Amino acid sequence: MFTHMVSPLTPYLPVAVVLGLAGLLAVLIPALTTRLGPRSVNEIKSATFECGSDPIGSARQRFAVKFYVVALLFIVFDVEAVFLYPWAVNFKALGWFGYGTMVAFAFTLVMGLVYIWKKGALTWES
Amino acid sequence: MRLRWNVIIGSLTIIPGLLFGGVATGYLLGGLADKHLFVGAHHLVNVVLLLLVFVMVIATALTLAERKWSAMMQNRIGPNRARLPFLENSALSGVPHVITDVLKLLTKEAFIPKDASKLLFNLAPMLAFAPVFALFAIVPAGPTVNVFGFDIEMVAANPDFGLLYLFGIASLAVYGTSLAGWSSNNKFALLGGVRASSQMISYEVALGLGLVGMMIAFSTVQLGGPAGMSDLQSHYLPGWSTYLGPIDVGVPQWGFLLQPAGFILFFAAAFAETKRAPFDVPEGESEIIGYFVEYSGMQFGLFMIAEFVEVVVLSGVLIAIFFGGPYLPFGNLWLKSLFGPDWQWLYGSILGTVFWLKVVLLCYLQLAIRWTFPRFRYDQIQTLGWKILLPIGLANVFISGALILWDPSLKALAIAGGIEILVLVALTLTPTPAKSRADAHIGHHGPVDEHGHGADHALPAGHH
């Protein structure tokens, strides 16, 4: 009946539908289990589970700084990868000039990689 | 091992039959929706069909398949308590576990430990599941064909930012795992959470670099549509095709042939993102249990189902980018010409079935890897990500780029890719040196090892 209408579904609308559906499912499924499941609380059961031994202190503690270093490196190199995508899509139009530009950009980052490698930031066994 | 022909023939007919029926329903319902509702309504049909039916059903079936297949590999029987009448003693005796497991998880107590941060604790499984579920939206699961006068795309959504959506949404899943680890207020969970998030962001870089070569080759980030990566792979390399009678044959520009290094990078990185063995240090069952140690009921179930949905999505993405999408390596034009204009949905359904069969095969490959390799140590995982995959990824981008600029018809890239594949096959077939075998105490007592060589020459002298 609406065959002559211009499609109201731009390519982006189904994406929104999918994201909405994903969110809905993610909320509904845990909601269902809290309705259906039994409920009983006691002191021992609600304690932190550490394989039967009494937990010592809180889990809100310091942990290895290595993980933080990895997060910093990720920022640097993932931003590099993000810069590569638009370049890759327009690669053939940009030609050898674009290629050379990106080689120069990547070279500075590779130097950074070599530096952190030599510094030992990528070494985990200490 | 005794070959059970009834099982083999049964699964070879039932599984493709079910897949074909599902895809054909999708095309016909999509055509009807476009005809009677509005143009473009078939995308909504596809959202329900592809995401809720195909992906969720395959993922749920994989929860059982993983236990059955691992049992097969380890010479066990596997789960067989939940039975169907008439099938008690057959290979299908455990199939109702798919449903009973869901019911069991739903009726368990959703428990929150008293030290946990309530809001974040409840939010984490949702954040782990929702992005993974939404990922499949951009993966085309069949060709675009004309049904009832409307062009029906077998994809839930076809935005022009295709792969960027994939990277963006996939990286959101890291919030689920890290929040689960932190909010549980449990030292094991915290350790699992930081390990998981650190591993996921490490491999994010290689994940992106692995696909840059394909973006360069096809000048697009879109997966669906006539200019998308999936459809471009149905073309042959220019000049490298011919006709054998009515059938067209040639060298297709499949991503696997053009970018074998990119494929291996992406596959390894994406496998690490799924946090499955050998990359399963965040949830190593025998040591720290993982970031979801405090979860129970369906909240744990969400983490589990997210993992299997990830397996299916990864298979779909790999096929859409590297294994020709729904297309056969040759004969697509011939197949299309077999059906008249009113029967194009049959052509689409056949290729859609091919797509899902490829997905099932890749899911099997992922499960086989998961049950074959021992767990890596955490430093090995970080070394692989930063010191091996990242330099290979960068080198691959610039070498492929130079080859494409030198020969824009992609033939030079395909030749380089063919050489890479031959080198990889040769490396794989090279027997492990006898010394390291003796060190590792791997004794093959069967007559033939996994590569088909006689085992005797590979065994060290004095082994027996």
Residues 224-283 (B) with a CB less than 8 A from some CB of A:
none
Instruction: Report which of residues B85 and A70 the model is more confident about.
Output: A70
Q: Exposed (0-12), middle (13-18) or buried (19+): which is A32, by Cβ within 10 Å?
A: middle
Q: B234 is in which domain, residue-wise?
A: 102-142+150-342+357-442
Position B136 pLDDT exceeds 70: yes
pLDDT-based confidence at residue A1 (cuts at 50, 70, 90): very low
Contacts of A102 in chain B (CB under 8 A): 398, 401
Residue B180 lies in a domain: yes
Closest listed residue to residue B231, CA positions, set B137, B140, B318, B336:
B140
pLDDT tens-digit map of A11-31: 788 888 899 999 999 999 888
Q: Which helix (H) or strand (E) holds B339?
A: none
- What residue of B is the nearest CA neighbor of A58? B185
CB contact under 8 A, B51 and A124: no
User: Residue A99's pLDDT is what?
Assistant: 92
The DSSP secondary-structure symbol of B143 reads -
User: What's phi and psi for B248, nearest 5 deg?
Assistant: -85, 130
Weakest mean pLDDT among B15-29, B58-72, B447-461 = B447-461
The residues facing B247 across adjacent strands are: B244
Distance from C-alpha of B271 to C-alpha of B365, rounded to nearest angstrom: 11
Contacts of A1 in chain B (CB under 8 A): 36
pLDDT-based confidence at residue B457 (cuts at 50, 70, 90): very low
Position B21 pLDDT exceeds 80: yes
Of A5, A71, A117, the CB nearest to B38: A5
Number of A:B CB contacts under 8 A?
235
pLDDT tens-digit map of B267-319: 999 998 888 878 888 887 777 777 888 888 888 889 889 999 999 999 999 99
Of B110, B156, B163, the CB nearest to A37: B110
Distance from C-alpha of A35 to C-alpha of A10, rounded to nearest angstrom: 38
* Helix, coil or strand: residue B453: coil
- What residue of A is the nearest CA neighbor of B127? A26
CA distances (Å), origin B462, targets B216, B226, B364, B434, B443? 54, 62, 37, 11, 12
CB contact under 8 A, A74 and B204: yes
Residue B375 lies in a domain: yes
User: Residue B278's pLDDT is what?
Assistant: 86
Weakest mean pLDDT among A37-41, B131-135, B326-330, B444-448 = B444-448
Q: Which helix (H) or strand (E) holds B393?
A: helix B390-406
CB contact under 8 A, B390 and A113: yes
CB within 8 Å of B154: residues ≥ 6 apart: B23, B26, B27, B30, B46, B50, B140, B141, B142, B143, B144, B326, B348, B352
CB contact under 8 A, B302 and A26: yes
CA–CA min distance A121, chain B (Å): 10
Average pLDDT over residues B96-119: 86
CB contact under 8 A, B38 and A2: yes
Residues 390-449 (B) with a CB less than 8 A from some CB of A:
390-391, 394, 397-398, 401-402, 404-405, 408
Distance from C-alpha of B334 to C-alpha of B351, rounded to nearest angstrom: 13
* Helix, coil or strand: residue B147: strand
User: Residue B402's pLDDT is what?
Assistant: 92
Topology of domain A2-119, CATH: Methane Monooxygenase Hydroxylase; Chain G, domain 1 (1.20.58)
pLDDT-based confidence at residue A9 (cuts at 50, 70, 90): low
> Angle at CA B352, nearest 5°, toward B346 and B356?
145
Residues 102-121 (B) with a CB less than 8 A from some CB of A:
105-115
Query: Over the range B183-196, which residues count as b (16 or more CB within 10 Å of their CB) and which as e?
Result: bbbbbbbbbbbbbb
Instruction: Report which of residues B390 and A60 the model is more confident about.
Output: B390
pLDDT-based confidence at residue B446 (cuts at 50, 70, 90): very low
Contacts of B391 in chain A (CB under 8 A): 110, 113
Q: Which helix (H) or strand (E) holds B242?
A: strand B236-244
Domain count, chain B: 1
Distance from C-alpha of B428 to C-alpha of A14, rounded to nearest angstrom: 43
Q: Say if B387 is an interface residue toward chain A (CB within 8 Å).
A: yes
CB contact under 8 A, A33 and B106: yes
Position A76 pLDDT exceeds 70: yes
Instruction: Report which of residues A97 and B81 the model is more confident about.
Output: A97
Distance from C-alpha of B464 to C-alpha of B460, rounded to nearest angstrom: 9
Pick the residue of A7, A56, A76, A91 with the most B CBs within 10 A to test the interface with B by mutation: A91
Contacts of A14 in chain B (CB under 8 A): 43-44, 46-47, 137, 156-158
Q: Say if B379 is an interface residue toward chain A (CB within 8 Å).
A: yes
pLDDT tens-digit map of B155-184: 888 888 889 999 999 888 889 888 888 888
Measure the CA dihedral B73/B76/B80/B85, to 10°.
90
CB contact under 8 A, B130 and A95: no
Alpha helices in A10-65 (DSSP H): 13-36
CB A105 within 8 A of CB A84: no
Q: For CA atoms B452, B423, B261, A92, give the dihedral sign.
A: negative
User: Residue B312's pLDDT is what?
Assistant: 94
Residue B370 lies in a domain: yes
Q: Which residue is associated with the tokens 């076809």?
A: B158
pLDDT tens-digit map of B84-95: 777 666 667 788
Distance from C-alpha of A38 to C-alpha of B106, rounded to nearest angstrom: 10
Pick the residue of B42, B123, B194 with the most A CBs within 10 A to test the interface with A by mutation: B194
Of B106, B114, B115, the CB nearest to A36: B106
User: Residue A4's pLDDT is what?
Assistant: 47
DSSP B36-52: HT-TTTHHHHHIIIIII
The residues facing B150 across adjacent strands are: B147
The interaxial angle of helices A66-89 and A91-119, nearest 10 deg, is 160
Distance from C-alpha of B232 to C-alpha of B216, rounded to nearest angstrom: 13
CB contact under 8 A, A99 and B402: yes
State the ipTM, two decimals: 0.87
Token pair, residue B8, equals 């083999």
- What's the first-to-final CA gap in chain A, in angstroms? 71
Rg (CA), chain B: 23
Position B450 pLDDT exceeds 50: no
Question: How many residues in chain B?
Answer: 464
pLDDT-based confidence at residue A114 (cuts at 50, 70, 90): very high
Residue B240 lies in a domain: yes
Residue B260 lies in a domain: yes
pLDDT-based confidence at residue B3 (cuts at 50, 70, 90): low
pLDDT tens-digit map of B393-441: 999 999 999 999 988 888 888 888 999 999 999 998 988 776 655 455 4
Of A9, A99, A110, the CB nearest to B405: A99
Token pair, residue B272, equals 């690490």
Position B2 pLDDT exceeds 70: no
CA–CA min distance A96, chain B (Å): 7
Position B464 pLDDT exceeds 60: no
Rg (CA), chain A: 26
CB contact under 8 A, A9 and B221: no
CB contact under 8 A, A81 and B302: no
The DSSP secondary-structure symbol of B392 reads H
Residue B372 lies in a domain: yes
CB contact under 8 A, A63 and B194: yes
